[in-house]
Amino acid sequence: MTHDEGAGREVVVSAVAGSATVRVLRDRTAGLFLAVVVVSGFGTSAMWLAAGVWVKSLTGSDSLAALAVFAMWLPVLLGPALGAVADRIPAKPLLLGSNLVMAGLLATLLLVDSAGRIWILFVVLVLYGVSFVLMGAAESALIAGAVDARLLGDFNGLRMMASEGMKLLAPLAGAGLYARFGGGAVALLDAASFVLAAGVCALLPAREPAGDAPPAGRRGELTAGIRQVWGSPVLRPLVLAGAAAMLCAGLNGAAVYAVIDGVLGHSPAYAGVLYAVQGAGSVVVGLLAGPLLRRLPERVFTAAGIALFAVAVAARALPYDAVALVASAAVGAGLPCVLIAAMTAVQRESPKAVLGRTSATANTLMMVPNAVALALGAGLVALVDVRVLLPLVGAAGLLTAVLLVTGRRGRLTGAPTGPAPSPSEA
């Protein structure tokens, strides 16, 4: 291939990628969902930061402050059951109702003004997690039926970009609002974001994509998502690789302050810089995910992301600020690949009747290891030097990537979404 031919091909690829992104943004359902992600993501990111600070300021307890974040994670354990609920309720009413209920619940946090009322905050945070599992399952159902299968990777990449983009802005706004007016003000900001998200959801098309009848029997309903994931040669390796990667991510997250203090010699506030750079990496990969998924097999795309993440985690053991910043950007770019690929495959491979359960189950299988590793990592950091621990975590990540592309179980999928549809196929 000549230089001119290669350059021409890159121009064509760039044009196709740009065309695909425009197609996603022009799709009414996809565009509305991305607007919901931006609006609700801003409030959620602000509240995520404020919750722990709020608990700490009222109780003085570091343990309770850590539990505030865990309370939002807890409902992920109930993913299969909550997915079964989502499969039985039309997606649009479920999204609209969940946003309005959460807005009302967040308003009750104005009552939290002492340690004796901190239980109200914990109840709301648990219900917060429940709502996100339900809405995530409902979103998968609507998107899978509304967005062209060849554009699902683009949508999920843009969704990741929108979500991570809010994480770059909202925590600063939440911290400033909390410092000036207290936790109640942050709760009202989040409540307002849910009301606005509900308004956007009201504009979604009311029709539901047709699906098969749900499986008979309560046990069958609860296990349908697990059976779908485990029985699919496409989904099983992606979800298992995602679980392993998120386990490594939890250990990496638990070590971040030990790296900042013991390796780099900075104050804890330096974590804000590293997280901002990491978020920027996620924004970039969110924009590129769709085009890459059309050019690479899903398992290769996923393995490449895990490998990039693994190398970056190991590099964090080096005592150089420049390396730490590059590693943070690489972590942000590599880790989302497995989540984007897995959820795209779930939306494409799952029957409509069990899509909510499959989506919630896949999310549970991938996210629970992260929560477990955060707790496990807190103990390991106290026992093992991070300059030893992080290279070991990186090696485990590289092994996961190798097993994903060389494993014999299941078929290695080709480029899953095919070429971007031309305007004549609209």
CA distances from 185 to 190, 194, 218, 279 (A): 9, 14, 42, 25
Give the pair of three-digit tokens for residue 91. 């997606």
Q: Under CATH, which architecture does the 218-411 domain have? A: Up-down Bundle (1.20)
- Residue 66 to residue 49: CA distance in whole angstroms: 11
Residue 259's contacts (CB-CB under 8 Å, 6 or more residues apart) are 316, 317, 324, 386, 390
- Map out the domains of the chain as residue ranges: 20-203, 218-411
- Compute the distance between CA of residue 172 and CA of residue 256 in angstroms, rounded to an integer: 19
- What is the residue-level pLDDT of the chain in tens, covering all 426 positions? 444 444 444 433 344 445 667 777 777 777 888 888 888 888 888 887 788 788 888 888 766 776 777 788 788 888 888 888 888 888 889 989 999 999 999 999 999 988 889 999 999 999 998 998 888 888 877 777 777 777 788 888 888 888 877 777 777 777 788 888 888 998 999 999 999 999 988 888 765 544 444 444 455 566 788 888 888 898 999 999 999 999 999 889 888 878 888 888 887 667 778 888 888 898 889 888 888 888 888 899 999 999 999 999 999 999 999 999 999 999 999 999 999 999 889 888 888 888 888 888 888 899 888 878 877 887 788 788 889 999 999 999 999 999 999 875 444 444 444 433 333 333
**CB-side exposure of 99: number of CA atoms within 13 Å?**
25
Q: Where would I find the H helices in 255-297? A: 256-258, 270-295
44 with 190: CB under 8 angstroms?
A: yes
User: Is 218-411 the same fold as 20-203?
Assistant: yes
CATH architecture of 20-203: Up-down Bundle (1.20)
* pTM as predicted: 0.75
Residue 65 · residue 52 · CB < 8 Å: yes
Give the number of other Cβ atoms within 10 Å of residue 338's Cβ: 29
